[in-house]
Amino acid sequence: MPRCADVSCGRWRPEVLAPRWASGIRFNGRWYCSRTCVEHAARAGLDTPAVPAAPAVALPPLKLGVLLRHLGVISEADLNRALESQRQTGLRLGAELQRLGLVPAEPIVRALAAQGGVSYLPAFDIGRVTRGPAWLPADTVRALGVVPFEVDEARKTLRVVCSAPVPRTAMRALLKLTGWSAEAYLIEDELLQQSLRAYRPVHATAQIGEAITVAGVAAAAARVADTALAGRALTMKSARCDRYTWVRLEGPSHVSDLLVSRAPERINARRSV
C-alpha cells in the first residue's frame, strides 16, 4: 500500500473502496493524498533550477559589422560612424544602422541570420501566422517570441519566425514541452511584432489551448494544485524561457499552459534590439 509522495506528509493511501473524496490525486504519475501535498510537489518542481543547455557552438559568432563589411553593404567609415553614435543611443548596431539610414533592413536581417546560423525571410506575409497548431495558445507564443507559420506533421517540426538574436531558449523549451522542434526563420523586428499580434491557433477549443499568466512560483503551484484537484490526475512539465517559466499541464482531457513571470525587474530587463 503506497504512501503520499510528499515526503513531509507520508500518509498511507486508503483502500480501493475509500470514498471518492479520499481517493487522492495522481500528479506526475505519483499518488498524493491532498491538494496541499500536490501544491508542495509543484512548488518543489518549479523551484528546482534548470540546468542551462550547453551552447552548440563554442566559437563566438562573427560580429554584425564584420559580416556587413564582408557583404559589401557598408563602408568602413560608415560602420565606424554607426559604432560611434551607437554609444550615445544605446541601440543595437543593426537598429543604429537603420536609424542613420546607412543600411536597409534586408541586408541586416541577412547578416543576422548568417550570424545565428539560421535562414531568413526578406519579406513575410503576416497572414501566414493565423494557422498555428491548436495546442499552442496565442499567449504562449507571445511569451516565447517565436511565431509558427507552417506545421510539418511528418517531421514534427514547426517553422517559426523570430528576430535576432535567435531565441534558442524558447526553441529548446518548445521541444522539451511539446516534442516539436522549431525551425527558425529570421525576419525584421517590425514584422515580428506584427506576427506576434496576429498569431491565432487553428481550432482553439475550450478544452485545449489556453494560457494563464501568474506572478511567481507560489501562485503557480497553487494554480497547479487546483487544476490537479479538479481533474484528479495531472502531469506538469516546465521549461525556463527568457522572461517566463513555461509550465504545461496535461490532464485526462485538458491541456493548459501557465506562464510564470519572475521578479518584476527581470521582466523589464528585456533586451532592446
CB of 5 to Zn ion, least distance (A): 8
CB of 217 to Zn ion, least distance (A): 20
Residue ranges in 31-60 that form contacts with Zn ion under rule CB under 5 A: 33, 37
- Among the residue ranges 27-35, 78-86, 199-207, 227-235, the one whose residues contact Zn ion (CB under 5 A): 27-35
DSSP-assigned states of every residue in the chain: --B-S-TTT-PBPPPTTS-GGGS-EEETTEEESSHHHHHHHHHHHHHSPPPPPPPS--SPPPPHHHHHHHTT-S-HHHHHHHHHHHHHH---HHHHHHHTTSS-HHHHHHHHHHHHT-EE-SS--GGGGG-B-TTS-HHHHHHHT-EEEEEETTTTEEEEEE-SSP-HHHHHHHHHHHS-EEEEEE--HHHHHHHHHH--BTT--SSEEEEEEEESHHHHHHHHHHHHHHHSEEEEEEEE-SSEEEEEEE-SS-EEEEEEE--HHHHHT----
User: Which C-beta is closer to Zn ion: that of 2 or that of 72?
Assistant: 2
Mask: binding to Zn ion, 3-22, rule CB under 5 A, as x and -?
A: -x-x--x-x-----------
CB of 9 to Zn ion, least distance (A): 3
Q: Does residue number 229 form part of the binding site for Zn ion (CB under 5 A)?
A: no
User: Which C-beta is closer to Zn ion: that of 26 or that of 248?
Assistant: 26
User: Which C-beta is closer to Zn ion: that of 32 or that of 120?
Assistant: 32
User: Which C-beta is closer to Zn ion: that of 41 or that of 192?
Assistant: 41
User: Which C-beta is closer to Zn ion: that of 192 or that of 234?
Assistant: 234
Which residues of the chain form contacts with Zn ion (CB under 5 A)?
4, 6, 9, 11, 33, 37
